Amino acid sequence: MKKQHVVKNVLPGSIAEELEIMPGDRILSIDDTEIEDIFDYQFLIQDTYIEVLVEKPDGEQWLLEVDKEFDEDLGIEFENGLMDEYRHCHNNCIFCFIDQMPKGMRKTLYFKDDDSRLSFLQGNYVTLTNMSDHDIDRICRYHLSPINISFHTMNPTLRCKMLNNRFAGEALKKVDRLNDAGIRMNGQIVLCKGVNDGEELEYSIREMMKYIPNLESVSVVPVGLSKYREGLYPLEPFTEADACEVVDTIERYQRECYAKYGIHFIHASDEWYILAKRKLPEEERYDGYLQLENGVGMVRLMLEEFRQAMEARKRKKAFPDPDFSDSVSVATGLLAYPYIRQMADEMMEAFPNVSITVYPITNYFFGERITVSGLLTGQDILEQLKDRKLGNRLLLPQNVLRAGEAVFLDDITLDEVEKTLQVPVNIVKSSGCDFVNAVLGE
């Protein structure tokens, strides 16, 4: 079936608006080349002169000549962001969190993607098992970077076992092709106790180091274990002693990589340091926070931003009116709670008329081993905050809501939370500066 690349929106002041391209139009080709998906589109619009074939809803076709700056966008948003169907993951990973979700949730929450185009566009991680030689050819030809890869292990046999896919080990050879083409990559390892840790982890790190500098960073995150694991592969949670061993291993290879290549390369997610009861690494060791989406350095960045925001206020003497007073509450996951509590205490010392109460929310919905705020549900927040003193406002982290919507994972709405708790709710971004501003009502 021929793909329907239908225009959803035209940005004001864009080239597309000037050319009178309208929502509902179809983009048929660029420079007489049929568009397969977003990869083709992004590559073909780069030149300073292009010819765009557009079909109007009534079937009339326009051939538009475009003179523009190199790499200048046309200002078109499509009904399908990929300009193609999303690719479903064909693996059955022993650690997959989607398999650990309860029944009866939104259908979209059960969709497993393994699409290299989402890696390029949104930073999603892909296993490479769903990528054809044609896909690799196009990535190399268009030089699309970075590609984020779920390695998990560099042992081909073990990778087949972990992904429950007999082609998973063979797929690692695609990394060689990407590396030879100079494609920038980031990697991740979901660490499972007794499976790919210990000597297997060290082997994987050494093998991945061979791809430096094109492989810019690798994160190691502990497997997330919900309470819905009946019938799944028997995985055990990591202990404090396990976490200490993981951190020691990673820091040893960080020193080696920094001495050889000038980057730290391999990074432990924040959870490891918190579980090991170790001090978080200094900011310089995160190499510019390349793995924030995997929880690597999120706490450190938040604390640094908080410190800078507070220092800036002191320098500029940007304090609230002396008569200003307020009482607010903050709810967060168990993982971030000690650090949110630390920031709250510092703010109350700096602003004596401000009262901040921080509530750690236990994740009973998915299970108490899940401690990140991004997996908190509306029902857990409501249950644990009812009859609590919430002050004049309740602050919640932005990641508790679906992207772009005022809805929690369990479909409870933000409006329901406000009405049930009888308090206005402010959604706060993850930055420390935003926390300061939100507490002060700015």
Overall fold of domain 301-439: Rossmann fold (3.40.50)
Domain at 98-295: CATH architecture: Alpha-Beta Horseshoe (3.80)
The helix or strand, by DSSP H or E, that contains position 326, with its residue range, turns out to be strand 326-333
- How far is residue 333 CA from its own chain's centroid? 17
Q: In the 8-state DSSP scheme, what is residue 219?
A: E
The structure tokens listed for 306 are 């908080």
The helix or strand, by DSSP H or E, that contains position 267, with its residue range, turns out to be strand 266-268
Q: Which CATH class is domain 7-78?
A: mainly beta
The structure tokens listed for 230 are 């009946």
Using CB atoms within 10 Å of the CB of residue 424, give its burial: 0 to 12 exposed, 13 to 18 middle, 19+ buried.
exposed
Give the residue extent of every domain in the chain: 7-78, 98-295, 301-439
Note down pLDDT in tens along the chain; length 442 residues.
456 789 999 999 999 999 999 999 999 999 998 888 777 888 888 889 999 999 999 999 999 999 999 888 899 988 776 555 555 667 788 988 888 888 777 666 545 554 445 444 555 788 888 888 888 888 888 888 888 999 999 999 999 999 999 999 999 999 999 999 999 999 999 999 999 999 999 999 999 999 999 999 999 999 999 999 989 999 999 999 999 999 999 999 999 999 999 999 999 999 999 999 999 999 999 999 999 988 999 999 999 999 999 999 888 776 667 777 899 999 999 999 999 999 999 999 998 899 999 999 999 999 999 999 989 999 999 999 999 999 999 999 999 998 778 999 899 999 999 999 999 999 998 799 999 999 998 8
Closest alpha carbon to 49 in 69, 27, 74, 32: 69
The contacts of residue 312 (CB under 8 Å, 6+ apart) are: 318
Beta strands in 100-214 (DSSP E): 125-126, 147-150, 185-191
The identity of residue 261, as a single letter, is Y
| Residue 214 contacts residue 185 (beta carbons within 8 Å) | yes
d(CA 396, CA 269): 22
Closest alpha carbon to 148 in 117, 191, 190, 110: 117
In angstroms and rounded to an integer, the radius of gyration of the C-alpha atoms of the chain is: 24
On the CB side of 368, CA atoms within 13 Å amount to 0
The structure tokens listed for 3 are 């793909």
Closest alpha carbon to 42 in 62, 22, 27, 57: 27
